[in-house]
Amino acid sequence: MSPAYAGLFFVFFGMSSSEKLKEILAQKLPLTAVNYAVDLWEKEPFSFKTTVSRKSKLGDFRYRRDRQIQTITINSDLNPYQFLLTYIHEVAHLHAFLRFGIEIPPHGAEWKSTFQQLMSPILSTEFFPIDLLIPLRKHMKNPKASSAADLFLMKEMSKYDDKSSNPEIVFLSDIMLGNRFLLSGREFEKGETRRTRVLCMEIKSGRKYLIAQLAKVKLIN
């Protein structure tokens, strides 16, 4: 990402600012998807914000009754394919609320069908590598509230992350039972897996915590 768009960046786009939006999204998305992403914005404009990485979410949309123009935020450190998926995920929230009303469940049937409709035109090798299309098409049959909850999809997506700054970072699911690892500066030992989470013991306190399998950790040799 160029220095002009590094870190926290916020902009409100008027209807005459499509080219500015295109310039910004070209820094973040696969180039073949930029025009489609801008077209979606032109149909229903919104404020757009990229943020520093958030551990709890990849992107965010919150409907505000007191605002005519809503806001979508996306983590700035996502790889281009994860950024594209997250962008469409959040735009689908906006379109679903505008079409069906603000009383619908955030990730209910209305949002799922809208998300599927918006993703359908780009589920091809023109926009995603073939190794991502297999888990992505499966994911889109019944999309989850967060793509981060889909272990298979996230593992495939992670192949396209920039690992140059943290080459030792791995998914918790990929290390062996009994291995020790660092997470947020704390040392843990991996225990048994319980569905989507792993029971791990913090070495310093002896306390046990359930940690997501998709947590990115640093293995201690």
DSSP assignment, residue 74?
E
Q: Which amino acid is at 135?
A: P
**Contact call for residues 128 and 82 (beta carbons, < 8 A):** no
Q: Is 48 helix (H, G, I), strand (E, B) or coil?
A: strand
**Domain map of the chain by residue range?**
3-158, 169-220
What's the DSSP call for residue 68?
S
The secondary structure of 185-202 as a DSSP string is TEEEEEEEEETTEEEEEE
Average pLDDT over residues 84-92: 97
Residue 165 confidence (pLDDT): 59
Nearest CA to 220 out of 178, 192, 164 is that of 178
**Cβ atoms of 9 and 76 closer than 8 Å:** yes
**b/e burial code for range 122-147 (CB count within 10 A of at least 16 → b):** beeeebbeeebeebbeebbeebeebb
Q: Please compute Rg for the chain using Cα positions.
A: 19
Q: Quick check: 90 and 59 in contact, CB under 8 A?
A: yes
Q: Which residues pair with 201 in a beta bridge?
A: 189, 208
Determine the pLDDT at residue 9.
43
pLDDT for the residue numbered 16: 54
Does 198 have pLDDT greater than 50? Answer: yes
Q: pLDDT at position 27, please?
A: 94
Residue 97 is predicted with a pLDDT of 94
d(CA 156, CA 132): 6
Q: Which residues pair with 207 in a beta bridge?
A: none
Answer whether residue 8 shows pLDDT above 60: no
Lowest mean pLDDT: which of 5-9, 68-72, 172-176, 183-187? 5-9
HEC readout, 40-85: HHHHCCCEEEEECCECCECEEEECCCCCCCCEEEEECCCCHHHHHH
Q: Per-residue DSSP letters for 99-134?
A: HH-TTS-TTSHHHHHHHHHHHGGG-STTTS-HHHHH
Per-residue pLDDT at 214? 81
- What architecture does CATH give domain 169-220? Roll (2.30)
